[in-house]
Amino acid sequence: MTEETIFNRILKGEIPCDEIYRDELCLVFRDIQPQAPVHLLVIPKKNIPSLKEASHEDASLLGHLLLVSAKVANKEGLESWRTVINTGESAGQTVFHLHLHVIGGRDLLWPPG
């Protein structure tokens, strides 16, 4: 059994979020510690701890998450943005429920971190 995370509690409605999009596969909401003027989190309803644990059966879901990321970025009026998936603690993952960060609204430097 996978450990319950804050994202599981958000999905269950136990913790409120600033929701901007929802469908049968995922939820998108504003990050409570934004790193840019627009900082959204795209989380699947399926509990996958990280990209490392995703399997071939998740390929369609992963593609859907990327397409939703683009959809909400466009909805937010972004001309360009960064989509980030942190995998593992040393890469900056703090919630172990797969999620995509959609970050934009300012110039983003490269390399990150």
User: Residue 28: which domain range?
Assistant: 6-104
- Give the pLDDT score at 1: 46
Low-confidence ranges of the chain (pLDDT < 70): 1-2, 113
Is 82 inside a domain boundary? yes
What CATH number did the domain enclosing 21 receive? 3.30.428.10
Q: Going by C-beta distance under 8 Å and a sequence separation of 6 or more, which residues neighbour residue 50?
A: 87, 88, 93, 96, 98
78 to 17, 56, 96, 103: CA distances (angstroms) = 21, 31, 27, 9
- Give the pLDDT score at 113: 67
User: Is 99 a known active-site residue?
Assistant: yes
Q: Give the active site residue among 39, 97, 99, 101.
A: 99
Work out how many domains the chain is built from and give that number: 1
4-29: b or e for each residue (b if 16 or more CB lie within 10 Å)?
ebebbebbeeeeebeeeeeeeebbbb
- Identify any residues that bridge with 26 across adjacent strands, giving them in sequence order: 44
